[in-house]
Structure 1
Amino acid sequence: MSLLAVHDLAVARGGLRTVEGISFSLAAGQALILRGPNGIGKTTLLRTVAGLQPPVTGRIEMAEDAVAYAAHADGLKGALTLTENLHFWAQVFGGGDVAGALAAMDLAALADRPAAALSAGQKRRLGLARLVVSRRPLWVLDEPTVSLDAASVSRFADMVRGHLGQGGAALIATHIDLGLDARVLDLTPFRARAAPAARPAGFNEAFA
């Protein structure tokens, strides 16, 4: 069963197309890794799939409320403990296994610590643990291993494998080899062709 289908998609950042002509699908149990040079549009593509911005052209097919999105902001409340943060997100998403989320990213020993007192790597681990309580089938992840040490990267990869094994899917932009059985999509061939900027209304060539 397809959890995500992308058809001839073009996306833009700052009014300029970044990549175009992209088509792919993800079925239950599958992962797709996005690759490409910095600035090509990986983040823009992920934000578009996650519904945070509209596509320029093309269409995206998936079930409503299918996506859990994790990017550079960890989405934490510093005054709340790790457990309280995860309970908050579990309520937002309609339930979830808080204890399982803490265990998945090796955070149980820190469960009662305020999030503000965590290191950058611990905050990242907590931000990723939110995925477990989301109960969403499609994880859309933008450079999820930033600030993680090697052991935490391995633990995160195990968490993704567990998600895939339970019938989920993952779309991940990363330069790190996570050791997943995943397809790779290099966005370089889909870089948008240069096009002249649109003329503003009332533009007069005589005053250019």
Structure 2
Amino acid sequence: MAHQSTHVLEGINLSCIRDDRILFENLNFKLPAGQALLLEGKNGSGKTSLLRILCGFREADEGQVHWCGVAFDDFQYHADMAYVGHLDGVKKELTVLENLKVSLALGTPGAYSIPQALAKVQLSGYDDALVQTLSAGQKRRLSLARLLITNNILWILDEPFTSLDKQGIALIETLMTEHCANGGMIVLTSHHDIALPDVSVQHIHLS
């Protein structure tokens, strides 16, 4: 199901200071539905800090984040947003199926059922496997399945290709392309080159 095309994420004069050091200042961007925003820069340049600001985990030292034209309302914005960070955000003591049921209970159903999502990320048959028994790549695939079963317009992804092989990288590129084609939007960091030929990708380089 395609999302509404009116959603826009906007950063207005954003500044971030950490340990008395300016990571970035006067940063502006406007991301409409159907596009991706790739944050580039060396470790420590502020990429993850910017993602944390966009997720509402911390406040910008200056500036505002707007969602659909207004300073974001926490409840609605977080209902529309899904975040996958360095840590996969899955509970090791639960099974694959239990993890996805928890995610679904906290969100609204998306385009994929749980079995469809597991098939898409090539984890079919792992329903009853404890997450602590999965490989790093399988845990990353499970975190991606969480994106598919809930209806989130904005995906915020911190190094989503971590622990994935070439097949896994191609898979997530396909998922991102499909998400944008359906009116979604993505903000991501990556040390890998990304191949999204059918998606308009904006670039912000933090130094």
> Using a 3 Å threshold, how does the CA distance of structure 1 residues 58 and 77 change in structure 2: closer, same or farther?
same
Distance 1:104 1:6 in 2: 33
The answer to whether the Cα contact below 8 Å between 1:35 and 1:42 also exists between their aligned partners in 2 is yes
Distance 2:24 2:162 in 1: 24
Q: Give how far 1:7 is off.
A: 0.7
Q: Which residue of 2 aligns with 1:95?
A: 109
Q: Which residue of 1 aligns with 2:3?
A: none
The answer to whether the Cα contact below 8 Å between 1:29 and 1:167 also exists between their aligned partners in 2 is yes
Per-residue CA deviations over 1:83-141 (Å, capped at 9, x if unaligned) read: 21111101111334322321221111322211111011111111122111231101111
Q: Give how far 1:56 is off.
A: 0.5
What CA RMSD, in Å, does the superposition of the two structures yield over aligned residues?
Answer: 1.5
Q: Which residue of 2 aligns with 1:45?
A: 50
Q: Which residue of 2 aligns with 1:184?
A: 203
Aligned residues: 188
> Normalization by structure 1: what TM-score?
0.85
Extract unaligned runs of 5+ from structure 2.
1-5, 69-76
One-letter amino acid matched to 2:204: L
Distance 1:145 1:22 in 2: 26
Per-residue CA deviations over 1:38-91 (Å, capped at 9, x if unaligned) read: 110000000100100001001101152221111111121223221211111011
Distance 2:203 2:179 in 1: 18
5, 8, 16: which one pairs with 2:10? Answer: 5
The answer to whether the Cα contact below 8 Å between 1:68 and 1:139 also exists between their aligned partners in 2 is yes
One-letter amino acid matched to 1:47: R
Larger radius of gyration: 1
Percent of aligned pairs sharing the same letter:
37
Q: Which residue of 2 aligns with 1:197?
A: none
Extract unaligned runs of 5+ from structure 1.
189-208
Distance 1:178 1:107 in 2: 23
One-letter amino acid matched to 1:151: Q
Q: Which residue of 2 aligns with 1:62?
A: 67
Q: Give how far 1:15 is off.
A: 5.3
